[in-house]
Structure formats: C-alpha cells, structure tokens
Structure 1
Amino acid sequence: MTRPPNILWISTHDIGPHLGAYAGVHPGAEQARTPRLDGLAAEGMRFDLAFAAAPICAPSRSAIMTGCFPTAIGTMHMRTKAVPPPQVRLFSEHLREAGYYATNNWFTDFQVPTPPSAFDDCSAHAHWRNRPTPDTPFFAAFHLLTTHESQIYLDDDAFARRTAHVPDHHRHDPATVAVPPYHPDTEPFRRSWARYHDLITEADHEIGVLLDQLEEDGLADDTVVVFWSDHGPGVPRAKRWLTDAGLHEPLIVRWPGRIAPGSVHRDVVHLMDLAPTTLRLAGVDVPAHMHGTPLLDADGAVVASPNTYAFGGLDRQGEMQDRSRTARDATHRYVRHYHPDRPPMQHCAYPDGLHTWQELRRLASAEAVQRAGGALPDLLTPLQRALVAAAKPAEELYDLVADPHEQHNLAADPAHAATLARFRGALDGWLATYGDLGELDEDDLVATWRPGGTQQVTAEPRVAGTVVECATEGAVVVWTADAPAAAAEDTAPLGEAIGTPVADGRQWRIACPASPPPTDRPVWLKACRLGFQDSAEVLTNEGATTG
C-alpha cells in the first residue's frame, strides 16, 4: 500500500495576496518582498481566486477547519462558542482516525472549545518532529501571528524588533508605498501600509525556516505544503468588510512530483475547500456533510471548476451588530446588506483604537467642521467618505476586472441588471440550500445551544468488550493511559476566547482502529462533542498491569 503524503499547513493572519508571486494578478502585489513564498509558488501551484468565508478571523477559520459555511453551522459571529450540528467535526479528527499524527502550533480560534480529539498536540511546541516514528504520516499546522493587524500599530522600537529579519533593502518606505484609492493619502495610512508589507516580509522569513526544517529532515519530497491566510489586511475596508480586499486570499500548494512547478489555478475556490482537499490528498473519504469541494484529487490532479461562486458572510463583529452576505464569481462581486441603515464602520472598541480607524474618524470630524463653516468637505473622496457614512447601500455589485478596488457600485445601473439578477438568484439559492442561522437573534440561537444557560454535557462512554460507544450524537471517544493530573493554567494570550484546549499533560487518542485502547493497562476514556462539555472520565482495565 502506498504511504499517504505528509501535509504541512502554514497560515498567517490578516493579509491579501500581497506576495511577489501575485504581481500583475492582485493590485499592490508588485510591492512585495517575499522570496520564500515566491519560490514556493514557483515550485507548486498558485491559486488566483481563493476567498475566505468571512472577513474576520474566527468565522473564517471555523469554515477552514470544518469544511462548512459558518452561516450554516452557527459559527458566523465573532467570537462565539458555537454548538454545530452533530455531524460536524474538526477535519483533523478524520486524519487521526486514518493514522496521521496531527499537530497544531498553537493558534486555534475555531469558534468552539478545541476538543482533545482534534490534535495529538496543540501547543507552542507542536511539531512534526515529535511524531512517534519516522514512518508515521503527519499533518502539521503552523499559524503565524506575525502579520496580525495588531503588529502594524506597534511603537517604533517594538516594530523594529518584530521585523528584525527584514533587510534594509526590503523595507518599504512610507513616502513611496502605494495607498489604495479607498484610503486617504495621509501619513498614518502610508505608515500602516509600509509596515503591513514589512510584516509580510518578516513572515516570509519565518515560513522559510519551516521549509528549511522540512528539507533538513529529508521530507520535502514527501510532503504537501499549503500556505494560506484567513482574511484581508487589518485596515478599514479590508478586514471586517465584505470586499475583495477583505476576502481575497493567497493560496499556494506544493507537492513535488504531483503538482507541476509554476502551475496556476484560475477557478474560484473557497478556503473552506481546504478541509475536503486535505482529506482527499490523505486518502480519507470526504464526509457527505461538508460544504467544501476538493480542489485536487488524491494523485494531485486538479479538479476542474470546483465552484461557480464563492460565498461569504458578515455578522456580529465585537460590538458591531450587522448582517451581510456576498457572492463572488470569476469577474464580479455582489453584496447584500440586511441592515443598510447601519454605518459600515460602527463603533468597536478594539479597531477604534487603531491608527487607521482613528485617522478616518479624525478626517470625518474635520469635514464636519468644514461644513459648520459653510464650506464643502474636501478631506475625503466620496469613496473614502462612504466608509464613515451613516448608512450603506442595500446592494453592491462590482466588476472586479475593470474595477479591482471596487470603486463603482453597479447595482443601480440598468446596463448591469442581468448580472445583478444572476447574483441575486445565486445568493438566494445558496441560502436556501444551506440555511442561514444569522436570521436568528443571537441570544435565541445561544439559548438553543445552552438550555437554561448551561453548557450541555457529553454522555459518558460505554465499553462493551472491544466496542466503545457514546449515546451523545456526534460524540467522539478518546482515551489515555496517562493518570489524571492537575490541568496547567492557560498562559496563551486570548486562550479562553479562542478555545485553546486544556493543557492537562496527558496524551489523548481517538478510540478507533488506528489507535485502539490497550487492554493490558489502566485506561481512562471520555467522550467529547463540539460545543459540549467533555464527559466524565471512565476508568477501564483498572486491575491490569503492564508486564
């Protein structure tokens, strides 16, 4: 039997396709200094039309890890602790059941508490090098925080330390950096865009370290490498907006001997398609409930036309209460706003503390002073002013080929009525097929998940001979031979908010043919289901001792 490939995921935060490999394909990519990622693309396949399911971290990552639309499984609000339908699982569990050593270093943010069934190791020390044998296939995910929006706004000394590996000749000069037309050409925006590009260059170095480790271990030829980001840049009208800037993502896949070097994929894909694609590459059956579509076959062959449209949504983001849906094909984007009376840039404590948000607020305030003096405002263009407007259009339609920065809304143009009707129908069809839990009041939705405000508890597993089962639908039974110990206090930033797993110092395995519970020693079993509290532990083979 052919050994399945190793799979390495490298993701980063808050960037669009601003890599050298996308120069001439994505606006602004020509400014990139990303030699390692450019090399990865030259050795593999560049996806030109990859899109996130949401323009903010946790909903997007929930889609990637489950292969399901957030609006369909309840993970669309930023942040939440959802209880997805019972058939929904984090896809890494399927890899573990197929014999993979699955690790995650270390960031989660999947909109659910991360269960012990998800990974063999989910920590800052997780690495393929810790797998039990050199022949064990691995799935290893690394999530770089280097490019997170918070890093753009560091003080000068902290930013210099954060970008210590960026050589002077690769640094971006705020005086010459390109600023997109939806942003005012002012010092805070110039500085932020220059820093954004420098952070990507720093991340490129870190990615190179991982790729070098793969080479050092002699694993590069046997490993599928996948690079992606979760959503667009941490600036207004990108992150937190249903725009191409907010949803269009880099995606690169390298598989030596299977994917031809320098390949380009020009069909529309969801980042959500990565879950079924990874399972397909690993030789694992794709669960029928997944909404995503495999992009590659098990031999690396490209699946033709996996999607006609990429769909996405925007819901509550922090204190910002809103709901919008979007569809994107190869040339156009359509957006439907269910609350057009609400401003696109509502107050939200965290982003309102960022320099770019503050600069837009300052200019809007200064324009109000101009109006008070009887003058017409001239500090913002109409496109920029729309970001801080009191309302937004009910519908938006853009031709991304002619208008890559989405400056001209065509929704009210009779010449584009047929295109508008097509997108309306596509979006309606998507919602009818998968449903939209965003229609429900969030408090009512949470009440269905936690009746009486109490988290539901997974039933204890039952052992009948060699069979282990659980009465809770959708539950997974895990086991460990490690005796109970006090759980370590979580010290990771945002640990509880992002669903960091409990660090109890024990190795939990899934009770399945690939990792059956031993019978010659005491074993602790428990059951877990996404969104539920883990069951109480059950001790089996209590009197057994190892020889």
Structure 2
Amino acid sequence: MKTPNVVWISTHDINPDLGCYSGIWPGADYAHTPNLDRLAADGARFDMAFASAPVCAPARSAIMTGCFPNAIGTMHMRTKAIPPAEVKLLPEYFRAAGYYCTNNSFTDFQVDVPPVVFDECSPTAHWRNRPDEDTPFFAAFHGMTTHESQIYLDDESFQRATLNVARQVRHDTSTAPLPPYYPDTDVFRKAWARYADLITEMDHWVGGILDQLEEDGLVEDTIVVFWSDHGRGMPRAKRWATEAGLRVPLLLRWPGVIQPGTVRTDLVHTMDLAPTMLEASGLQVPGHLHGKPLLRRGGSFTDRPNAYVYGGRDRMDESEDTSRTVRDERYRYVRNFHPDRSPMPHIDYPDHTATWSELRRLRGEEARQLACGELPSRLTDLQRSLVAASKPGEELYDLEQDPHETRNLVQDPGHMKALARLRGALKTWQDSVQDLGMMPERQLMENWRPNGEAPVTATPTLSITAEGISAACETPGASIGWTASPPNPSSSPRPQEQRKLMDRVTGSPEEDGRIWNLYTAPVPSMGTSSVRFKAWRLGFTASQEASVQGRVAGRAPKSPEGHLHEDNNLPL
C-alpha cells in the first residue's frame, strides 16, 4: 500500500451541528453544510466523538500529543507545561519518517512549539510547498471562522466574516433549535443563527481545501480528517464538562480504504487521532500514548477502542475549578471537586459576550423581582442553574432519554448501579494517569520551574563518523535540529517578552530566518559550509548552538585547541 498523505482540517468551537449529523445530534438539521456532508458521505462519520477538554488549548494538546491533558500537565487554560520526556508533538513523528509537515497556522498546544516539528508553520504553509511531488505530507489547516468571538461581532463585521453565506441559506432566527437550558430570547436566537451561519462559512473554506486536493490529483492518496477542538462557544458548552462542551464532529475520508457512507458509533476521543494517523500510515505508535488507534494500516476499524471516554474542566483563564467526567454509551457522570463554586464564574473574556451577559441580565432581573416580593420568573430552574452560586458535587445523566442533560439522576434509585460503576471508572482512570489536576497549580509550576527558572536543554555534542556529522543531546526527550544556514542577526529570535503576545500565548515557533531540519541520522558534510545543531525539549529553554565546519578529504575539522568547533554563544 502506498504511503498515504494526511490532511487535517480543524475548526473551533462547534458541536456536530452539521447536516450529516441530522437525527444523530439534536438540531443538526438546522445546518447548511454541503461540503462536509459530502466528505462524510465519501468516508466515515464518527457519531460519538469527544474532546478531552471543553476548551481549546487543553483539547488541542491532547490531539497533538495523543495524551490526556491531566496526565502531562496541559489541563489548565492556558499554561506552558513541561510534559514527560517521552511526549512529542505528532507532526515530529511524521517528519522523522520523511513527511513534509506543515501547519496553517494556529498552534495553541500548551507548549512552545520547537521549529523542528514543522517544515513550515505560517499562514502560507501548504502541501504545495513541498520539495517535490513524490514527498508524502502531513498538512494541518486550522480555521478560526467558527471561534466563539465571531458570533458576537458587530453587524457589519459579521457580514464581512460570512461573505460566502448566500442570503437564501442564512439561518432563520425564528427556527433556531435552542436547547432547553437557554432562555428563548432574541439574544440567544441571534447567537444561534449566527453560529450556524459561521459553520456554513467554514464549510465553504473546507470545500476550497478539498478542491485543491482534487486539482492536484491527490484525493486517492490522502487521508482527510475533519474535527472540532470542542463544543460550541456559548454557555454550558465551551468551558463546561458537559455533552455540549465535549461532543464534536469527526469525519475521516480515505478513498479505496474506507467505504463511503461508513458510520461508526464507537466511543472515541479526538485524542485517538494521533495513534490512528501513525498506525494508518504504517508508522510505529509510541507506547506512552493514551489514545487508541481507530483504524489499522489495512483499513479495518478497531471495534470498541474505548469502553469509556473521559474529560475534565480545570482552570479557565482566571477562574479556578476542577471537574472530571466519564461517559459510556448511555450515561455521563460528572464529579465536581468544588461544588461551592458557580458553574458560570466570572471569566473576563466570555463575560463580555452577548449570551453570557444575557444570562446575567436575566438573573439580575430575577433579583429585582425578589426585592419586590415576587417569585423569580425570567429563567427556568434549569436555566437558573447555569448562573447559580454553586453546583452539585456529582451529576449523572441518561443521555438516551435526556440528551440535553436536564435531569440529574444522582439521587434516583433506579440508576444506582450505573452511578457506582461510573464513579469507579472515573477513579480508576484518575489514578492510572496520576491526575495532575489534583495538585495545586502553583506547586506544579514550582516542580517544573523552581524559582521561576525554566530548565535549559543541553547543547548537542557532535562527532564525525564515516556517515557524517553525528549529534547527541544529554537532555532526555530532546529533539535535535540542524541547518546549514548561518544565523542572521536581523532575523534572530526576539526575547520572549518582545514576541507578539498571541504568539507567546499560543506557543508559535520562534522564527530566526532559518529552516531547521529534524536530526534523525548523521548529516553529510556540506563542503565548506558550517553545519549548525540545536536541541529542544518541550517546556525547556532551547539549547545553545553547536557547529562543525565543512571537512576536507574526510578529515574532521579542528578548532585551534584541537576539538570540534562549538559556537555555544551564538544568539538565541
């Protein structure tokens, strides 16, 4: 079987609100998504796919590492973790296998991304930039169209953001399928219709990428995966360890391998994508990954890869909280470790959005009703629970009978067996991954960076062998890069505090004007050119550079002291 290419197309903040999920996910028939519907028809639709966290950075860290966030320290929104030494970002495995790896261009993986992970990480990154047509590629495209921020744009800006949504397919606010935990107000109806319009705009963008694969004659040789990082950007979804917070669309096409119209009802994590892509591409799946391969190299699916799927909510920006959840085919169980805290605490960013403000406004009106001796009537009990001062310590929902999680069954005698089983499953999972979310974050940070000082990756040691320049790094888990390009002072990486704030937050690779090749084997001599090496370990400060001058007639170059020349003080 030919080595497949891999294209990932991801979006932000949506549930399975695509037309192809009509009858599977409540309200999905409201959506207009012809391109994604076609993608599902041509491949496999996963009906029970779940994020590992209900917010972007922890969720993406799981997808890109194949590991649970609370096992590797990436569970808080946001952080800069130091994962265990064996943890790598998925594209590095592909790059080591000879793939051309690109990212266009959002990162946000909870670590600073080393420049050896991608051949290119930029708004112009594309498989079309690969060195030749025979080079296999891993190309990731991360669209921002459906991010929660876009729902709340002013009218003029929203029209510009949805230029490809024709008038006849714009979503009617009067038919918006609001779930019962939202008040039926103009604010929520407008937000829901806009959310659906943004999905249609995103669908147009996806269609463009699929068209490019067709134009390049690559459809038959390429695995295409579409996923969302987590659920919709509204209350009780994004930032909540709920069904709406964690359930996502997942579509996978591989012509000639996956039968068109395939439907998978297995419980899957989006975290499972990392081992799935490696396995399907014929690459070794590292033993430390928590994710399970969903698809084998020959094209057969893994039946019931997960008995349960897990997730959690931890610090959300400035709001500290901890919840864990487990789901089987029927039930969702949630353990809230701080029941005395509101399920909708003050968080500066979403508190400025129209839907969060609307809930707070209505609750404020109810307070004034109470002040006048009236019973509160602006919200239902279910809606009021979103803005309550506290939440239950435990929650249990029968999702077959109650898909919107409206009735907590923790006290229901008829569900005690399910409650005990899921309690046990959650505890077993937390123990097995040594849940770092149970540790105070300050203590975790001190363990990682004593006195606020990040550990430094050791400078690579170099030697000349018959095969070329050999490099090693004594820091466990470090990745080594090499380049024949000398440093350019005008394009050297800026100090961390001088980088753009969003680049610092999302961990985008630092640019120094050079392409760093991933070291996998001794590097042949470059004649008279200097070959430079540098090492990175996730969460560590990068090493200094070491270099070897070009050798003559197979002899190792020597410095005046008779040792391999190392430029350990070059600008970082």
Alignment CA distance shift 1:18-1:110 (3 Å): same
Contact 2:2 2:221 in 1 (8 A): no
Tell me if the contact between 1:522 and 1:544 (Cα under 8 Å) persists in the aligned partners: no
Per-residue deviation, 1:121: 0.6
**Which residue does 1:403 correspond to in 2?**
402
- AA matched with 2:492: A
Q: Does 1:280 align with 2:286?
A: no
By how many angstroms is 1:463 displaced? 1.3
Deviation at residue 28 of structure 1 after TM alignment: 1.1
Distance 2:117 2:387 in 1: 41
1:78 to partner: Cα distance: 0.3
Matching residue of 1:142: 141
Following the alignment from structure 1 to structure 2, what is the Cα–Cα distance between the partners of residues 133 and 230? Answer: 32
Aligned equivalent of 1:72: 71
Q: Which amino acid aligns with 2:315?
A: R
Q: CA deviation at 1:543?
A: 5.9
* Corresponding position of 1:306: 305
CA offset digits 1:167-189 (Å, max 9, x no partner): 11110121221211110000110
Q: Which residue of 2 aligns with 1:541?
A: 549
Superposed CA offset, 1:496-534 (max 9, x none): 100011121211111114x84544331110010000111
Change (3 A) 1:518 1:18: farther
Query: Matches of 1:108 and 1:516 in 2, distance apart?
Result: 29
Q: Is the 8 A contact 2:106 2:142 kept in 1?
A: yes
Q: 1:517 to 1:324 in 2, by over 3 A?
A: farther
3-state SS of 2:135 partner? coil
Partners of 1:186 and 1:543 in 2: CA distance: 74
Q: Which amino acid aligns with 2:270?
A: L
Mapped pair 1:179 → 2:187 = no
Moved more, 519-528 or 224-233: 519-528
Match of 1:523 in 2: 531
Match of residue 487 from structure 1? 492
Match of 1:3 in 2: 2
How far apart are residue 276 of structure 1 and its match? 0.5
**Residues 525 and 550 in structure 2, CA contact (< 8 A), matched pair in contact too:** no
Partners of 1:395 and 1:544 in 2: how far apart? Answer: 71
Deviation at 1:468, TM superposition (A): 1.4
Question: Which residue number in structure 2 is paired with residue 268 of structure 1?
Answer: 267
Name the residue aligned to 1:122. Answer: 121
Residues 19, 517 of structure 1: CA spacing in aligned structure 2 closer, same or farther, 3 A cutoff?
A: farther
Unaligned runs of 5+ in 2: 554-572
* Deviation per residue, 1:105-151 (Å, 9 max, x gap): 10000000011121111111110000111000000000000000000
Please name the residue that 2:429 is paired with: 430
- State the alpha-carbon separation in 2 of the partners of residues 340 and 231 from structure 1: 23
Cα-to-partner distance string for 1:444-477 (whole Å, 9 max, x where unaligned): 1011111121111100011122431100000011
Identity rate of aligned residues, in percent? Answer: 57
Q: CA deviation at 1:495?
A: 1.2
Determine whether 1:475 maps to 2:478: yes
1:491, distance to aligned residue in structure 2 (A): 8.1
Rounded to whole Å, the distance in 1 between the matches of 2:329 and 2:121 is 37
Structure 1 residue 79 displacement after superposition: 0.3
Q: Following TM superposition, where does structure 1 have runs of at least 4 consecutive aligned residues deviating by more than 6 angstroms?
A: 488-493
SS in structure 1 opposite 2:264? Answer: strand
How much has 1:363 moved relative to structure 2?
Answer: 0.4
Q: 1:508 to 1:441 in 2, by over 3 A?
A: same
Partner of residue 251, structure 1: 250
Q: Post-superposition shift, 1:493?
A: 7.0
* 2-structure distance, mates of 1:355, 1:210: 32
TM-score after normalising by structure 1: 0.97
Q: Superposed, which structure 2 residues align to 1:65-464 within 5 Å?
A: 65-464=64-463
> Which residue is equivalent to 2:558?
none
CA distance in 2, matches of 1:203, 1:544: 56
Please give the root-mean-square deviation of Cα atoms over the aligned residues, in Å: 1.5
Secondary structure of 1:151's counterpart equals helix
Change (3 A) 1:413 1:483: same
Return the letter of the residue paired with 2:51.
Answer: A
- Partner Cα distance (1:130, 1:544) in 2: 34
Q: Name the stretch that deviates more: 515-524 or 362-371.
A: 515-524
Cα pair distance change 1:48/1:524, threshold 3 Å: same
Between the aligned partners of 2:65 and 2:378, the Cα distance in structure 1 is: 45
Q: Is the 8 A contact 2:455 2:541 kept in 1?
A: yes
Summarize deviations over 1:260-304 as a string: whole Å, max 9, x none.
000001000000000000111111100000000000001221011
- Contact 1:511–1:517 (CA<8 Å) still a contact in 2? no
CA distance in 2, matches of 1:300, 1:147: 32
Do the aligned partners of residues 233 and 517 (structure 1) sit closer, same or farther apart at CA in structure 2, a change above 3 Å counting? farther
Distance across 1 between alignment mates of 2:473 and 2:493:
27
> 2: distance between equivalents of 1:374 and 1:473?
66
Contact 1:45 1:262 in 2 (8 A): yes
Distance in 1, matches of 2:398 and 2:525, equals: 60
Label 1:270 to 1:430 Cα distance change in 2 as closer, same or farther (>3 A). same
Report the Cα offset of residue 544 of structure 1.
6.7
- Residue 389 of structure 1 aligns with an amino acid whose one-letter code is A
Q: 1:329-363 deviations in whole A, cap 9, x for unaligned?
A: 11111100000000001111101000000000000
Contact 1:82–1:112, Cα closer than 8 Å, also in 2? yes
Distance 1:8 1:211 in 2: 10
Q: TM-score, normalised by structure 2?
A: 0.93
Partners of 2:120 and 2:293 in 1: CA distance = 26
8 Å Cα contact 1:479-1:517 kept in structure 2: no
How many residue pairs get aligned? The number is 544
| CA–CA distance in structure 1, aligned partners of residues 277 and 63 of structure 2 | 11
For 2:485, the aligned partner's letter is: D
The SS at the match of 1:204 is helix
Is this contact kept in 2: 1:311–1:325, CA < 8 A? Answer: yes
Letter in 1 for 2:180: P
Distance of 1:495 and 1:83 partners within structure 2: 18
Preserved CA contact (<8 Å) 1:517 1:523: no
What is aligned with 2:17?
A: 18
TM-superposed CA distance for 1:487, in Å, is 3.2
Which structure is larger by alpha-carbon Rg, 1 or 2?
Answer: 2
After TM superposition, the structure 1 stretch with the greater mean CA deviation from structure 2, 171-180 or 352-361, is 171-180
Distance in 2, matches of 1:356 and 1:411, equals 29
Deviations 1:197-231 (A, max 9, x none): 00000000000000000000000110000000000
Deviations 1:236-270 (A, max 9, x none): 00000011000000000000000000000100000
Read off the aligned partner of 1:511 and give its amino acid letter. Answer: Y
**Do the aligned partners of 2:61 and 2:69 also contact (CA within 8 Å) in 1?**
yes
Helix, strand or coil for the counterpart of 1:464?
A: strand
Alpha-carbon spacing, 1:29–1:309, altered in 2? closer, same or farther (3 Å):
same
Superposition map of 1:53-68 within 5 A: 53-68=52-67
Q: Secondary structure at the match of 1:465?
A: strand
Decide whether aligned partners of structure 1 residues 77 and 311 sit closer, same or farther in structure 2, where only a CA change above 3 A counts.
same
